[in-house]
Amino acid sequence: MVEPLRWQIGTVIAIRRQTDRVSSFVITLPDWRPHRPGQHYDVRLTAQDGYQAQRSYSIASATDRAGEVELGIERIPDGEVSPYFHDVLVEGDQVEVRGPIGGYFVWEPGMGGPLLLVGGGSGVVPLMSMLRARHAAGDGTPAVLLYSSRTIGDVIYREELERLAATPAGPSVLHTLTREQPPGWDGYARRVDADMLREAAARIGGLDAGPLAYLCGPTLLVESAAAALTDLGMLPARLRTERFGPSS
């Protein structure tokens, strides 16, 4: 019998700025458990008067770093939890966490594919964990990441994605920048739509190859992409979603 999940106190050992609004927080845990790519941790803050605020943050790390976990956290200006992480927390501080959690939005080597990953903003974090795990395992499942950001400066893991894409059997990585594009930009420059999804799927054998799709990001992006994919004939059972709602 596996011990039930409990809240525990972790220690932040590294904070890595990824973009203006997103940082990675590496946390060591006394009761660490291996996670599956796509899972998340709950984080809980308690004020002196006992008031508690809790949020879920996706795991960015692959599964090979025993004892520690890397969470990708976007700073939401009027949020209750994320500004504390970005503005107050320093390396060496302690935080209360519970995880890893979630057996549904999970992909790991051996689960098959082809893999159609669609991420918006910090919704790329759990998809990054999947791509890192795929790479670490030498898994050759065809994979494509369609990644929507506002501007080039908002692209998280940009260099690592380029490196992954350049490896043999690396994933295809397609970017779209919805708000502003740098000079000479040759990627997409609009919101994710049916044409874009069809072109992304073409990199992994097309929708006829029966891909497994994982969609993560703001609710609007996830819902429009899910609707477009089912309109294009994808079976709902092959499609998993993770909406970011009021993720403050």
Partner 1 sequence: MQEPLVLDANAVAGELAEMMGVDITAYLARCAHCGNRDAIGSLRAWIHGPGVVLRCVICSEIVIRWVQTPNGPRVDLRGAAFLQPR
Least distance from partner 1 to the Cβ atom of residue 91, Å: 25
Helices and strands counted in the chain (H then E)? 5, 11
Least distance from partner 1 to the Cβ atom of residue 103, Å: 3
User: By C-beta, is 100 or 113 nearer to partner 1?
Assistant: 100
> Where do we find the tokens 């990644």?
147
C-alpha distances in Å from residue 33, one per residue of 2, 39, 63: 11, 12, 10
DSSP characters over 90-157 = -TT-EEEEEEEE-SSS---TTS---EEEEEEGGGHHHHHHHHHHHHHTT----EEEEEEESSGGG-TT
| Inter-axis angle of helices 124-136 and 158-166, nearest 10 | 30
**Cα 196 from Cα 203, distance rounded (Å):** 11
User: By C-beta, is 40 or 203 nearer to partner 1?
Assistant: 40
User: By C-beta, is 105 or 188 nearer to partner 1?
Assistant: 105
User: By C-beta, is 164 or 221 nearer to partner 1?
Assistant: 221
Least distance from partner 1 to the Cβ atom of residue 107, Å: 12
CB 181 within 8 A of CB 152: yes
Conformational region of residue 16, where left means phi above 0, alpha means psi within -120 to 50, and beta covers everything else: beta
User: By C-beta, is 72 or 188 nearer to partner 1?
Assistant: 72
**Cα 233 from Cα 176, distance rounded (Å):** 23
User: By C-beta, is 103 or 183 nearer to partner 1?
Assistant: 103
Least distance from partner 1 to the Cβ atom of residue 98, Å: 5
Least distance from partner 1 to the Cβ atom of residue 55, Å: 10
User: By C-beta, is 70 or 242 nearer to partner 1?
Assistant: 242
Footprint on this chain of partner 1 (rule: CB under 8 A): 2, 4-5, 40, 42, 56, 78, 98-99, 101-106, 219-220, 236-237, 240-246
**DSSP H helices in 179-218:** 194-202
Least distance from partner 1 to the Cβ atom of residue 219, Å: 4
Query: What is the DSSP-derived secondary structure letter of residue 59?
Result: B
Least distance from partner 1 to the Cβ atom of residue 104, Å: 2
Give me the amino acid identity at 133.
A
